[in-house]
Each structure stands twice: as C-alpha cells, then as structure tokens.
Amino acid sequence: MHLQRLDEGAETSISALYMLVAIMVMSSIASALLISVQERAMTDARDAGMQSADAINGIVSVLSLEMSEYVDGAAGDTLHVMFELPHLTAPIPETSLTWVMLCKRDYGATASEIGYTEGDFLDATTVLDDGQTAAAIDEFEGDMTYHAYMTMDAQCDIGPDFFGTLVIVVEDGRTFQIFVETDGNPESGEVFL
C-alpha cells in the first residue's frame, strides 16, 4: 500500500502571494495619500507666504523720540518722532500709519484706569520739511526718513513720573512699541529713544 502525502506548500505559496499583493496595494494607497497631504501642505504654505509678504514688509523703525514741547499741568504736550519704513516693497498711503499712547491714569491712592490718546501721521513729512504740513506727502516710501509731531490730550497728559506705552501701527503690517517714562521733572527736549 502506498501512502500519499498531500503537499500543502502550494497553498501556502498562494496565500503568501495574496498577502504580498495586498501589502503592495495598501502601501501604494498610503503613499498616494501621503503625497497628496504633503502637496496640500506645500500649497497652503505658499499661499500663506504670499499673503503675509506685504505685512512682513510693513515694519516701522523709529530713529528718535523726544519731547518737543512740555506744558506743565495741562494737555498739549508734544512728542517728536523720526522714523523710517526700510523694508517696504511698495509705497503705502499715509493713512495706513497710526499711533496710540496708552497710559495709566490715577485717581487718588485707590482708583486708576487705562487712558489713551491716538492720532495719525497725516502731517508727517520727510526730514527735509517741517513735520507738520498736512499736504506735503500722500504716501510713505521705503527709502525715506520721516518725522512728525504727536500731541497728547488730557487722556494721556505727560507729567512728572509719567509712564506710558507708545504704539505705532502699520495697517496690515507690524507694530512698534516703546515705553515712555519721565522722572519727577520732565522738560522739553527730553529724549526717550
């Protein structure tokens, strides 16, 4: 009598072949998915870079800040600022640049609040002009130095031991911030930067 042995090697090989094909199909799908995700991320990064290019270029560089006129005990103190916008890729309208002075207003020993004075740079001129002529320029260019005067009102009247924060803002751009602090005896010509 002859015993016959069944060879199961062929079944195992076919099963292994099916598994290999399934793994290859799954890896193809996974790689296509990863490539599409990477492509989408690169496209989003490019779009974000294009949208923020002008904003990054709108950086104010303040060259000097000083008190040009000090009115003791009354509103009307005036700061003189000299600045440039060195990274502009194209001129911006003068209405795109504004400032605000934030300050703490005390009402005795127990009460205080934050006050602010705001303004624009419509009267700014190049350093060759007076810094107070409204129609001198219509836009700021990147290769020029400008100056302007900022008048404080009663909200942020500069006086002895004054502490405030001056913020200059470029619309769709960056901000510049500087602390303005006086001692017990402020005077015209005091330099803050």
From the list 103, 82, 83, 110, the residue with the least C-alpha distance to 158 is 103
Classify 126 in phi/psi space as left (phi over 0), alpha (psi -120 to 50) or beta: beta
DSSP class of residue 19 equals H
> Alpha-carbon Rg of the chain, whole angstroms?
33
pLDDT of residue 2: 61
Whether CATH 3.40.50 fits 61-181: no
Q: Please report, in tens digits, the pLDDT of each residue of the chain (193 residues total).
A: 566 666 666 777 888 888 999 999 999 999 989 898 888 888 887 776 655 555 456 789 999 999 999 988 788 899 999 999 988 888 899 899 999 999 987 777 777 888 999 999 999 999 988 888 877 788 999 889 999 999 999 888 888 888 899 999 998 778 899 999 988 889 999 999 8
pLDDT of residue 55: 47
From the list 85, 88, 105, the residue with the least C-alpha distance to 152 is 105
Q: Which residue has the tokens 């998915």?
A: 33
What residue ranges do the domains of the chain occupy?
Answer: 1-56, 61-181
Tokens of 137: 């320029």
Q: How far is CA 40 from the centre of its chain?
A: 26
Q: Do 158 and 83 touch, CB atoms closer than 8 A? A: no
Q: Do 91 and 141 touch, CB atoms closer than 8 A? A: yes
